[in-house]
Amino acid sequence: MIYLDYQATTPLAPEAREAMLHWLGGPGSDGFANPHSPYRAGRAAAAAIEVARDQVAALLPPGGRVIFTSGATEALNLAIRGCDAGALAVSAIEHAAVLDTARALDPALTLLPVDRDGLVAADVVIPAGTGLVAVMQVNNEIGTVQPISAIAARAHAIGALVLCDAVQGAGKLAMPDGADLIAISAHKLYGPKGIGALWVRDGVTLDAQITGGGQEAGLRSGTLSPALAAGFGAAAHLCTTLWESDAEHVDRLWIQARTAFAGWALNGSATARWHGNLNVRLDGLDAARLMSECRTVAISAGSACASGSGRTSHVLRALGLSDKEAKNALRIGFGRYTGTEELDEAMAAITAAARAQGLPA
């Protein structure tokens, strides 16, 4: 199988897996202790978590702290529910973890529109009285990169906090300036599933959503897994050392894939974009049928979470595409471990499947 769905999840980096193994210790080892226990083995586990926290913090801006969570969904819930902001404004192309949570808290929320390129305007109007603005850094479906710093400046001018879902950008792009809260997920940057983080700017206060033992400075209770933290830390560290070569590799793959798909329309901006995301459409294509026919290639038609729901992508609709056009779209995602030959092979299989539908692919 050729895996081209790097927005849904990424392969676990061998280095991250290796970093986890010591902390998955069995009887007689010193690698299983509860990091909140006061004796030696517990302190060693706690120290490993702090090393990981520093490694993750290196991906994030200075002047804040890293709160470990079970993933980005929990981090986003903690941010949105925990800041008790009242009126909310979120971009129309946010992930469901933001949209659904925000709608639950503020049914009258403001949806910040995007243009046909999938970008929120840098001078977007944010209604007075808004308490929290949430705009994602890199969209998970179409890869567009939002002008967070400019939006944050406007939000701050009216006294609102800024939450940035940086799940797709963390470890790949520099974090945007201006955000007060940033959510990231380990398994989107070659780390393990089951851990993520919320970065909280110094001075921003939140109410905990999972209370109990009072871990993570009281903001997130629950025994932390030293293994998951160590895997996250190692993956983050790898990103800080590889991010230039990762980006160069992805740019080469992007050119290769764009060339192979020259006849397809690109969804979202070609330039304000993370190039590891190629979201394309072909008039008349039955994307669902193509995916079921291309059994050796793992791609998707939007977010993994919404897969199989039959719902039209809210992101593609926000670009102004019709329901019909939205169902013509494929999301092809690649990254560090994608080879040029397998990408060629996958492109050929996708092209052949589109031609079998009688289309000029």
Residues whose CB falls within 8 Å of the CB of residue 87, separated by 6 or more in sequence, listed in order: 106, 108, 109, 110, 127, 129, 130, 131
Residue of 103, 156, 193, 317 that binds another protein (CB under 8 A): 193
Greatest distance between any 2 Cα atoms in the chain: 68
H/E segment holding residue 25:
none
If binding is defined by CB under 8 A, does position 342 make contact with another protein? no
Q: DSSP states of 87-140 as a string?
A: EEEEETT--HHHHHHHHHH-TTPEEEP--TTS---TT----TTEEEEE--SB-T
User: How distant, in Å, are the alpha carbons of 20, 70, 205, 276 from that of 191?
Assistant: 10, 13, 28, 17
Classify residue 63 as exposed, middle or buried by CB count within 10 Å of its CB (0-12, 13-18, 19+).
exposed
**Which residues neighbour 198 within 8 Å (Cβ) at sequence distance 6 or greater?**
66, 67, 69, 75, 76, 78, 79, 181, 182, 183, 219
Residue among 83, 164, 200, 228 that touches another protein (CB under 8 A): 228
Of residues 19, 33, 161, 200, which one binds another protein by CB under 8 A? 33
Q: Which 203-222 positions form the footprint of another protein (CB under 8 A)?
A: 209-215, 221-222
Least separation in angstroms between CB 251 and another protein: 25
Q: Which amino acid is at 128?
A: A
Instruction: Tell whether residue 42 is a contact of another protein (CB under 8 A).
Output: yes
Interface with another protein, residue 305, by CB under 8 A: yes
Q: Which two tokens stand for residue 93?
A: 């192309």
Cβ proximity of 202 and 212 under 8 Å: no
| Residue 293 three-state SS | helix
Our CB check for another protein shows the closer of 212 and 320 to be 212
Q: Does 28 bind another protein (CB under 8 A)?
A: yes
Catalytic residue, from 164, 239, 294, 305: name it.
Answer: 305
User: Contact between 147 and another protein (CB under 8 A)?
Assistant: no
Look at the chain and count its residues: 361
Site membership for another protein, residue 304 (CB under 8 A): yes
340 contacts another protein (rule: CB under 8 A):
no
Is residue 200 within 8 Å of residue 206, measured between CB atoms?
A: yes
Provide CB contacts within 8 A for 60, sequence distance 6+: 66, 170, 175, 182, 184, 199
Stretch touching another protein by CB under 8 A, among 70-78, 129-137, 157-165, 342-350 = 70-78
Q: Work out whether 360 is an interface residue with another protein (CB under 8 A).
A: no
Contact 145, 118 (CB under 8 A): no
Does residue 100 belong to the site contacting another protein (CB under 8 A)? yes
- Nearest CB to another protein, comparing residues 70 and 130: 70
Per CB under 8 A, the list member of 256, 307, 351, 357 interacting with another protein is 307
State the minimum distance, in angstroms, from the CB of residue 279 to another protein: 15
298 touching another protein, by CB under 8 A: yes
Distance of alpha carbon 187 from alpha carbon 12, whole angstroms: 7
203, 308, 310, 358: which one binds another protein (CB under 8 A): 308
Q: Which of 55, 137, 185, 328 binds another protein (CB under 8 A)?
A: 185
Indicate if 305 belongs to the active site: yes
Site stretch for another protein (CB under 8 A), options 73-81, 128-136, 233-241, 260-268: 73-81
**How near is the Cβ of 5 to another protein at its closest, in Å?**
6
Which positions are annotated as active-site residues? 305
Interface ranges with another protein (CB under 8 A): 1, 3, 5, 8-9, 11-12, 17, 24-30, 32-34, 36-42, 44, 69-74, 77, 96-97, 100, 104, 185, 187, 192-195, 209-215, 221-228, 291, 295, 297-301, 304-308
